[in-house]
Structure 1
Amino acid sequence: MTYTCAIVGTGAIAGAHATAITELPGRARLVGAVDLEPSRAAAFAETWDVPTYPTLAALLDAQRPDLVHLCTPPGSHLSLALECLAAGASPVVEKPPVLSLAEFDRLRAAEDAAGLPVATVFQHRFGSGAVRLRRLLAEGVLGRPLLASANTLWFRDDDYFAVPWRGKWEVEGGGPTMGHGIHQFDLLLSVLGPWTSVTAIAERQARPTDTEDVSAALVRFDSGAVATVVNSLVSRRQTSQLRFDFEHATVDLEHLYGYTNANWSLTAGPSITSAWDRDQTDLPSGHTAQLAAVLDALDAGETPPVSTADTRLTMEFVAAVYASAFTGRTVGQGEITEGHPFYAGMAGTGAPWLNGVSRS
């Protein structure tokens, strides 16, 4: 089956989505796009040879797409996703999918009511290195997970935040914890499974933002493993790093915005090394890898990855980081429910630097 796809928001990330669609000929076809900025829409239309529409409603009416890729600022994701579901189209939502757990639960309720799946774009789960790692862990080859780390050490200068919607809680939902490091720690969570508690700090160190520009968390998992998660936008030597220490091996990943097998390394004995090297598949992480997995699931009548059940664990982790950082308490999994200050918004009781609270 060939699935028809549309894109809403034709900024930079839309190119990755359009590329993924065109790299799967016979399986996916780009049929239209929407952007509020006419010149940007025209440039996208010329590049990808597709019609553009002034509104999502017009596109849905004209094309009746199977999938709609939402590439707009995060604050618009929920309303657009609800509109897609009401029209019979499945949303494929860029990260972060929504601004809060309350919004996410609204999205899940609409998904259930429509009987259509929603997928979140967490493309780092789908490179062959991550797939291999999860398989060997499930097979018991690596032993029990003991210790891990996920570091997203990036640099964004003041000019980056000159775009009006950046660095604002009400539009982005958070800083690097919500919008940048989320890819790395989502991959960490996909490997280590359910987390049990988070103890965190978050600071605004240097950037002219309402949100944080640095956060760090200590995490406990159901398995007994512990991990550190660091997210930064003030690190001039940029890198994205994950490390997993298992009973029988250490697995490292270092890249920036995407990886291949060459970015992974294994420290282990000969038998484990042989098992790791046996699979020579080298699929880069990226939008094409995830879209192919989504289409595979749809072909099989299964729930596409990353499902809303998967995504909620990651979104709850984000909320727990902010809740712990802003209250000074350890936050347990399942604690942030309706009525909790950090359920309705990631800022919760408010960032200390906006509340006039000294952190000295």
Structure 2
Amino acid sequence: MTTRTCAIIGTGAIAGAHAEAIAALPDRARLVGVVDVRPDRAAAFAATWDVPTYPTAADLLDAQRPDLVHLCTPPGTHLPLALECLAAGASPVVEKPPVLSLAEFDRLRAAEADAGVPVATVFQHRFGSGAVRLRRLLAEGLLGRPLVASAHTLWFRDDDYFAVPWRGRWDVEGGGPTMGHGIHQFDLLLSILGPWSSVTALAERQARPTDTEDVSAALVRFRSGAVATVVNSLVSPRQTSQLRFDFEHATVDLEHLYGYTNANWSLTAGPDVTSAWESDPADVPSGHTAQFTAVLDALDAGEAPPVSTADTRVTMEFVAAVYASSFTGRTVARGEITEGDPFYASMAGTGAPWLRQPAR
């Protein structure tokens, strides 16, 4: 195994999870520097993790030549920083949402191909042992066909949360809970149920002082024939993250908030499926360490690190389809949003209806 050098750009709250994941694998990864637009915050973070700070990403990349750069900055900065990393030969590990639009994402994929350096998106819920086990049993045929599913991210963010200048704005955050909050849950749903085929959705601004939505709901058809509901909310006082999968031979439930262990999963099934489910005692939480371990495993094997840009584009196209269906009132098929479509260039597309309404 190779010890990879890592850097972090953006030392806000989520950066701590990245630093902890690096520190949890000391024989395989080493943090070598950090950058933040606020020097005081960068200095405090660097002191905690005993690493140097640099004034800019360019300075860090030139001084350290890191193998991996964890991008923990606001979404609107992800694309230019990722492009800068790729040009320097460093693999970006990008927090969600990776970019602001499908157009930006395709630009990132093109740069990845030109550089010959892989990009990984942080979708850590794919990597907990419960999700790994579920995908395995489904692939082995023990669960039968997927029939019905749901992914509901019911969270609460008050008005003060949106006082941060980049939150709640299409131009710098890219969207509301569909883009930046529920994306973890429905990315996990998509990783299990496979290719989606169409989306019928609505999005509303119910209560928050934002340009983006604070609630969305979608009905999804999958190529397998399964159907699912996906609900994303920031106005739900009793917070929960819920997924349910009804297969021919089992129901599998997951309820947690921001991360799960095996204890958060439940199974309703016959003895054969139950025995297979319980046969793997491993309990890996769905955190950044689980995904970072998988990233390092893939790099050591000479493979693209998960979650690859090919995988991430499926989820990003789903987000665009939710907004397109919500704002046009039509069902959107996978593959329909292409260059020239307003929802390709921006998740806001033709514009949120509440922003088109004249002021009262």
Q: Gaps (5+ residues) in structure 1?
A: none
Determine helix, strand or coil for the equivalent of 1:169: coil
Structure 2 counterpart of 1:289: 290
**1:156-305 correspondence runs (5 A):** 156-305=157-306
Deviations 1:128-156 (A, max 9, x none): 00000000000000000000000000000
Q: Does 1:152 align with 2:129?
A: no
- Which residues of structure 2 form unaligned runs of 5+? none
Q: Secondary structure at the match of 2:6?
A: strand
Please state how far the C-alpha of 1:67 moved relative to its aligned partner.
Answer: 0.1
Mapping of residues 307-326 of structure 1, within 5 Å: 307-326=308-327
**Which secondary structure does the structure 1 equivalent of 2:137 belong to?**
helix
The yes-or-no answer on 1:44 pairing with 2:55 is no
The normalised TM-score by structure 2 is 0.99
Q: Residue 243 of structure 1: SS of its match in structure 2?
A: strand
Code of the residue aligned with 2:93 in structure 1: it is V
Q: CA deviation at 1:334?
A: 0.1
CA distance in 2: counterparts of 1:357 and 1:212, whole angstroms: 18
Runs of 4+ in 1 over 2 A off after TM superposition: none
Report the residue type matching 1:67 in the other structure. L
CA distance in 1, matches of 2:42, 2:219: 43
Q: C-alpha distance in 1, partners of 2:25/2:155?
A: 31
Q: Tell me the C-alpha RMSD between the 2 structures.
A: 0.8
What's the secondary structure of 1:29's corresponding residue? strand
Q: TM-score, normalised by structure 1?
A: 0.99
Distance 1:165 1:93 in 2: 17
Q: Which amino acid aligns with 2:235?
A: V
AA of the residue aligned to 1:248: H
| Matches for 1:7-156 after TM superposition, within 5 Å | 7-156=8-157
CA distance in 2, matches of 1:72, 1:165: 11
SS in 2 for 1:276: helix
Letter in 2 for 1:293: A
Amino acid at match of 1:233: L
Structure 1 residue matching 2:285: 3-state secondary structure: coil
| Distance in 2 of aligned mates of 1:153 and 1:253 | 14
1:108, 1:10 → 2: CA distance? 25
Shift of 1:357: 7.4
Paired AA for residue 138 in structure 1: A
For the residue of structure 1 that corresponds to 2:342, the secondary structure is coil
Cα shift readout 1:298-324 (whole Å, capped 9, x = no counterpart): 000011100000000000000000000
In 2: Cα distance, 1:275 partner to 1:42 partner:
49
1:178-232 deviation digits (Å, cap 9, x = unpaired): 0000000000000000000000000000000000000000000000000000000
User: How many angstroms apart in 2 are the aligned matches of 1:285 and 1:169?
Assistant: 29
Provide Cα deviations, 1:23-53, integer angstroms capped at 9, x if missing partner.
Answer: 0011000000000101101110111111011
Classify the secondary structure of the residue corresponding to 1:53: coil
Counterpart-to-counterpart distance in 1, 2:22 and 2:65:
17
- Give the match's secondary structure for 1:324: helix
Q: Distance in 2 between matches of 1:60 and 1:165?
A: 26
Tell me, in whole angstroms, the C-alpha distance in 2 between the residues paired with 1:314 and 1:45: 33
The residue matched to 1:245 in structure 2 has which SS?
Answer: strand
Q: State the AA in 2 paired with 1:122.
A: F
SS at 1:250 equivalent: strand
CA, structure 1 residues 312+271, in 2 after alignment: closer, same or farther (shift >3 Å)? Answer: same
Q: 2-side partners of 1:75 and 1:4: how far apart?
A: 25
Give 1:221's aligned amino acid.
Answer: F
In the aligned structure 2, how far is the partner of 1:357 from the partner of 1:130? 46
* Counterpart amino acid of residue 116 in structure 1: V
Q: Please give the alpha-carbon distance, in whole angstroms, between the structure 1 residues aligned to 2:4 and 2:47.
A: 22
Determine the C-alpha separation between the residues in 2 that align with 1:23 and 1:316.
33
How many residue pairs match? The answer is 358
Distance 1:40 1:243 in 2: 40
Which residue does 2:333 correspond to in 1?
332
Q: Measure, in 1, the Cα distance between the counterparts of 2:39 and 2:4.
A: 27
Q: Which residue identity is paired with 2:244?
A: R
Partner Cα distance (1:232, 1:93) in 2: 23
Secondary structure of the residue aligned to 2:343 is: coil
Amino acid corresponding to residue 45 of structure 1 in structure 2: A
Please tell me the residue identity of whatever aligns with 1:335: E
Whole-angstrom distance in 2 between the partners of 1:117 and 1:357? 46
Query: Hey, what's the Cα distance between the residues in 2 that align with 1:71 and 1:202?
Result: 27
